Structure 1
Amino acid sequence: MEDENGVPGPAGRGADPDRPLREPAPIHKPEVDDAAAGLFSRPPGVTGGVDPRRPASPDEPSSPDPSSPDHASGPAHRDESDSALAAAFGPSGDTDGGIERHPSWQDQTEEPPPASPDPWRDPHAPVGFGAPAVQPTEEFGPQDLSGDSVPPPPRLSLSEALFERRLSRQALAGAAAAVAVIALVGGGIGAVVADSARVLTTSTVRIADAPTNVLRPDNPVGEVAQRVQPAVVNIQVSTPSARGEGSGIVIDPQGYIVTNNHVVTMDGAADRANIDVVFPDGTRASAELVGRDPATDLAVLKVDGVQNLTVATLGDSERVEVGEQVVAIGSPLGLARTVTEGIVSATERPIALGESTSDGDVVIDAIQTDAAINPGNSGGPLIDASGAVIGINTSIFTRSGGSIGLGFAIPVNDVRAIATSLMTEGSVRHATIGVNARKADNGNVEGAELVNVREGSPAREAGLREGDVVTMIGERRVRSSDELIVAVRRAGADVDVPVEVIRDGSRIEVTVRPVLA
């Protein structure tokens, strides 16, 4: 179907031939000036698109129309258009073709890579390993007199070395010794490895017993205890209303036993009590009180009818040294034959025991030890490493009621003298100068200040008076009233003793002659 202008129109089923057709929209063609036409018109000889391989459409004329806008000019104009297109879209002058550089890169030029630094010209060039400066040469070997290399001598075979006597006897002997040593070492290592492997893989369990022929390490404490324990006894004291116990040691084969006074008097609560002695073998016997000395807290008992008594060996307390090992044996808390061990912590330690008895002031010149001493050890021995008794355990300092390592023993030299006096005379007297004193310590002077000097006493006769501070008796330094008492006892009676005192800020010396009281 065609419209009235002869242009084909739409056709389809049901179209109304009497219906008027819509007028076509006007074709709008932009105005093209000569310059644009020269730039974008087809090249000469091209009837279709820009690509010469593209055929021309049927609607396009087979030859260019000089009157059309696409061909507004002649050949000169086409040459100018080709040049413009080549300048706009062709490759640049420094390229042969292909993809062009981005327009923003036109001003950038490629820079050549930097040259490698020359270590001979640049002092800061890095150091590196390179090829050797010269070609390696052959190793130098033996040369003859002319300088030519001499080939190495041929090695000897085993048969040549052993049977053709190419080696000396010394060399052969050394080689044989080396082989023997290597064989022995290798065999030993192999035996150890094989035995270890056999023990690890065997199904038989082997538990070795300790050898019976090896001596045990020395046990000095045990040896001392075995020798002294038979001489240590347990003492049990009782009254109708109370009971107590302590320890003691046998000092004479006739049955004499030494112990503490506070053990037999139950801390001064009983003058006469029933006393039983239990020996290490379990034998029990009644004991009689031979005598006691409250001033030194010592007492002597005697048992009758007991045979084969073991007597303790008494040592010398003057030879006791600080730091030596000691052993204490006794019945703490009723545990008979208890052994403890320690050292001597101090000697000549004045200790007042007045609060533990009802007999007044009791002062001992004690040996201090850290061996454990507890209630029930009182009266037992303190023994040195040789098994000799060097003291009688008598007191402890404690805040818990048990041992804290501060134990005190009466020196055995004092024990020997007092026990002998009690066994022979039944009583003991001690040296005194007839004074009462208290500790003086004002920061400048340390000693015993006299607060009472009795009339007719050795001190009064020597010219001592109240207020004097005693600082020395004989060769012993006095630092307290307790030490004044033990120093006078050590000095003895009926001998002149020099006494140094401080009076009114001056140091003077007098001579005192103690007496027994």
Structure 2
Amino acid sequence: MSENESSANITPPEPETAALPPVPPPPAASPFAQTEPIPPSFAAAPQPVSTAPRQRSLAVPVIAAAVVAALLGGGAGAGVTAWALASQTPSSSESAAPSPQTITVNNPDKVDVVTAVAAKASRSVVTISVNAGQEGGTGSGVILSEDGYVLTNTHVATLDGASDEGTIEVTTADGHIYSATVVGLDPIVDLAVLKLKDASGLTPIEWGDSSKLDVGDQVIAIGAPLGLSNTVTDGIVSALNRSIQIASSAVPDHGDDDQTPDQEQNGGQGPFDFWNFDQGQGESRQQSNPASATISLPVIQTDAAINPGNSGGALLDSEGRLVGINVAIASTGSTGQGQSGSIGVGFSIPSTLAKRVSQEIIDNGEATHGLLGASVSTATSADSDVVGALIEEIVSGGAAEKAGLKKGDVITELGGVPITSSTDITAQVRALAAGSSTELVYQRGGDSATVKVTLGELTL
């Protein structure tokens, strides 16, 4: 019997990575003003700002994103469909190494929060180029350790599932190019860990706590949209506890196998494909490499401008700490090469999830994800007087049955997070490690009850 629920797994790792050096002590006027000039580049040793012209240096514009009035999807936990941010592809099958870019500061006495965060964190964000035969593309990543562990998206490392054996090159902010290998892939939450060859002395990103974010908090995105390395944009957290659904070519399809992930019965909003890496062959790519499964992700929603190529890059808080890995944007349509850009609704994988998964991959080569053992649908007015995930079927011996749940129950909360749809419950279950115990709130016959559920393990 297949085990069903919605269609995605999720798990947060606990990597112990070195913290980035703190921003220099600020004067009273601004919490981010610096007493010393901010270095124009991110070589290992800070250098004073030079008035002499620098070759191959690019001043990265800071974009102050407007607050988006209308949020996508309504309720805080409403499941939405999104486009994953695939890499922007070079014109030829061989990727030219991106030219090194630096954060240029012309007026160090007038820097603001965004400038200071960019100066602190840009050295920990990399550009990733992947080539496999005629397929190729670029994405972003963040440095996890001094010796070269890098976190990115699975769809970046595998060219949207086209190949897990591509040639990978990683370029740091100071222009150093490293060859890289895949340590482990986690297509369930679209995360991957790479290892750079012969790397040392790199600057790891400083982890932040995404669970402490509030709607309205300022966030800064750094990555390589459209292949433009070290691009910095800013905005706010426009929603929390959002869940999105994406079709993935990297997740195996088990059909009616008993190990099939929990699946939703009426997701309602059919997922779009990942963005294509290859502009010139986008249509043929979709035909030859169709999405075989759907994943549900818990995400931070932001209006910071992120675009194709930002995938795997950093979403940072106002202290320059990593709070999310940029993964997808919503789209109203496609343009030109079959892709469209930011409309002010972007999504990032929370750092709590990214940290757990990346550390498990580094330690064990793979991460685990929870399994509820139930088939669910999104509750309608015919089923319930509250929003939630309606249990359609219970898997014998699964976590739901052991917790006393029954067919017809409507799940309204898991681990303190509101559940408004079948996508929500799957995303939240997958965010937890196998064997995790958490509280689940449900309604039965108009009465609300709370139970403790110990999740099973999703197996692909």
TM interval, short-chain normalised? 0.5 to 0.7
Match among 447, 465, 483 for residue 424 of structure 2: 483
Residue equivalent to 1:428: 367
CA distance in 2, matches of 1:372, 1:423: 30
AA in 1 matched with 2:313: G
**How many angstroms does 1:491 deviate by?**
6.1
1:280 pairs with 2:173: yes
Q: Tell me whether 1:413 sits opposite 2:306 in the alignment.
A: no
Contact 2:298 2:431 in 1 (8 A): no
Distance, in Å, in 1 between the alignment partners of 2:316 and 2:440 is: 35
Counterpart position of 2:441: 500
Conserved 8 A contact 1:352-1:362:
yes
SS state at 1:227 partner? helix
The structure whose RCO (Cα within 8 Å, separation 6+) is larger is 2
2:441 partner amino acid:
E
Aligned counterpart in structure 2 of residue 246 of structure 1, from 139, 159, 174: 139
Aligned residues of 1:261 and 1:294 also touching (Cα < 8 A): yes
How far 1:446 sits from its partner (Å)?
Answer: 1.0
Q: Is the 8 A contact 1:294 1:359 kept in 2?
A: no
Query: For residues 516 and 486 of structure 1, what CA distance do their matches in structure 2 show?
Result: 14
Verify: 1:353 aligned to 2:246, yes or no.
yes
Shift of 1:506: 4.8
Comparing 448-457 and 293-302, the one that deviates more: 448-457
Residue in 2 aligned with 1:398?
331
CA distance in 2, matches of 1:475, 1:281: 42
Q: Give yes or no for the alignment of 1:375 onto 2:375.
A: no
Equivalent runs, 1:61-460 vs 2, <5 Å: 216-354=109-247, 355=271, 356=273, 358=291, 360-400=293-333, 401-442=340-381, 444-460=385-401
Rounded Cα–Cα distance in structure 2 between residues aligned with 1:474 and 1:333: 38
SS of the equivalent of 1:322 reads: coil
Q: What's 2:256 paired with?
A: none
Q: Is the 8 A contact 2:170 2:180 kept in 1?
A: yes
Q: Give the Å deviation of 1:380.
A: 0.4
Deviation at 1:510, TM superposition (A): 4.4
TM-score (normalizing by structure 2): 0.62
In terms of fraction of residues, the more strand-rich structure is 2
Q: Which stretch shows the higher mean deviation, 445-454 or 327-336?
A: 445-454
Structure 1 or 2: larger helix share?
Answer: 1
Q: Deviations over 1:288-313 (max 9, x none)?
A: 00001111110000011234322211
Deviates more, 1:378-387 or 1:444-453: 444-453
Correspondence for 1:469: 410
Partner Cα distance (1:495, 1:410) in 2: 19
Q: 1:227/1:352 Cα in 2 relative to 1: closer, same or farther (>3 Å)?
A: same
What secondary structure, in the 3-state scheme, does the structure 2 residue paired with 1:446 have? coil
Write the letter of the residue equivalent to 2:197.
D
Once residues 378 and 496 of structure 1 are traced to their aligned partners in structure 2, the CA distance between those partners, rounded to angstroms, is 31
Q: Which moved more, 1:499-508 or 1:312-321?
A: 499-508
The whole-number CA distance in structure 1 between the counterparts of 2:151 and 2:108 is 38
Match of 2:259?
none
Could you tell me how far 1:348 is from its partner in structure 2? Answer: 1.7
Aligned-pair identity (%): 39
Question: Does the 8 Å CA contact 1:260/1:298 hold for their aligned counterparts?
Answer: yes
Judge which range, 380-389 or 350-359, deviates more. 350-359
Helix, strand or coil at the partner of 1:371: coil
CA contact (8 A) 1:268 1:359 kept: no
Equivalent position amino acid for 1:395 in 2: A
Look up the equivalent residue of 2:312 and give its one-letter code: G
Contact 1:341 1:372 survives alignment (8 Å): yes
Q: What's the secondary structure of 2:110's corresponding residue?
A: coil
**Residues of 1 paired with 2:108 and 2:233: CA distance?**
24
Shift of 1:419: 0.5
Contact conserved, 1:474 with 1:491, CA < 8 A, in 2?
no
Question: How far has the Cα of 1:240 moved from its partner?
Answer: 0.8
Residue deviations 1:150-206, cap 9 Å, x none?
A: xxxxxxxxxxxxxxxxxxxxxxxxxxxxxxxxxxxxxxxxxxxxxxxxxxxxxxxxx
Residue aligned with 2:307, SS: coil
User: SS state of the match for residue 441, structure 1?
Assistant: coil
**C-alpha displacement of 1:245:** 1.0
Residues 230, 451 of structure 1: CA spacing in aligned structure 2 closer, same or farther, 3 A cutoff? Answer: same
- TM-score, normalised to structure 1, is 0.55
Q: SS at the partner of 1:291?
A: strand
* Structure 1 counterpart SS, 2:359: helix
Contact 1:491 1:497 in 2 (8 A): no
Structure of larger gyration radius: 1
CA RMSD of aligned residues (A): 2.2
